[in-house]
Chains A and B, each alone.
Chain A
Amino acid sequence: EVQLLESGGGLVQPGGSLRLSCAASGSSFNTYVMSWLRQTPGKGLEWVADIYTGQMKMKTYHSDSLRGRFTISRDDSKSTLYLQMNSLSAEDTAVYYCAKLSGSGTYALSAYFSLWGRGTLVTVSS
């Protein structure tokens, strides 16, 4: 059974940067469309970014509000997903999840989140 495990969270000062990682078990990571999401008590669950497979040129999509500060990437040789976060503020404090996308119908590759990691807490505070 595939499992996802995030790491890299922690306490960071406002204006700082952090890189999150998500390691996938199993041998088919290169076929997965992957996402980052975050969750806060105030705003609930929020989508951050998607990255498609090498066959789809690793196309990426980012939330409008986070584009320019957050960047999703992947290293299929390491079965690992990344999220680079820059210029962090208190509003970015959240639990960050990586998730595997699955699809149906019009969105055959990316309609719902079929597998989630356990999450990693990012706290932005001085």
Chain B
Amino acid sequence: ESVLTQSPATLSLSPGERATLSCRASQSVSNNLLAWYQQKPGQAPRLLIYAASNRATGIPARFSGSGSGTDFTLTISSLEPEDFAIYYCQLRREWPPYIFGQGTRLEIK
């Protein structure tokens, strides 16, 4: 079964710094069907990136996604205070259809 591993588990950075979050799949992700979500405490996840590199509607340009095959990256170019949250990656495959990573907690240093 395909597994998604996110690293690091926790990332401590300061506002203004660049954040690089990793998501590695145990098998190649077909058609780069990988998405990234942001979740703040007490809120539902929010779609940031779909198909590995496409920003969802209303997502600021400081968020970008890249990668292919088994290795994907979410980059936040310059952290804003509201960006500190948990980030999840998710892939789409035949079955089971949706797999989520365990999350990376981005915290203020």
- Max chain B Cβ within 10 angstroms of own Cβ: one of A37, A107, A113, A115: A113
CA distance A56 to B17 in the complex (A): 47
Interface of A (DSSP majority class): strand
A119 and B92 alpha carbons, distance in the complex (Å): 22
Q: Are B100 and A44 in contact (CB under 8 A)?
A: yes
Q: Decide if A11 is an interface residue (CB 8 Å cutoff).
A: no
Residues of A within 8 A of B51 (CB): 104-105, 111-112
Interface residues on A, range: 20 to 34
Q: With A and B bound together, what is the CA distance between A96 and B38 in angstroms?
A: 17
Q: Is A110 an interface position by the 8 A CB rule? A: yes
B88 within 8 A of A: yes
13 contacts between A and B (CB under 8 A): A45-B45, A45-B88, A47-B96, A47-B98, A47-B100, A104-B51, A105-B31, A105-B33, A107-B92, A111-B51, A113-B90, A114-B56, A118-B44
Contacts of A46 in B (CB 8 A): 100
Residues of B within 8 A of A111 (CB): 33, 35, 50-51, 92
Q: Chain A residues near B33 (CB, 8 Å)?
A: 104-107, 111-112
Q: Interface residues of B: mostly helix, strand, loop or mixed? A: mixed
Interface residue tally for chain B (C-beta within 8 Å): 24
A51 CB to closest chain B CB (Å) equals: 13
| CB of A97, distance to nearest CB on chain B (Å) | 6
User: A63 contacts the other chain (Cβ, under 8 Å)?
Assistant: yes
8 Å CB contact of B97 from A47, A105, A116, A118: A47
Using known A-B contacts A106-B30, A106-B33, determine if residue A45 contacts B100 with beta carbons closer than 8 Å: yes
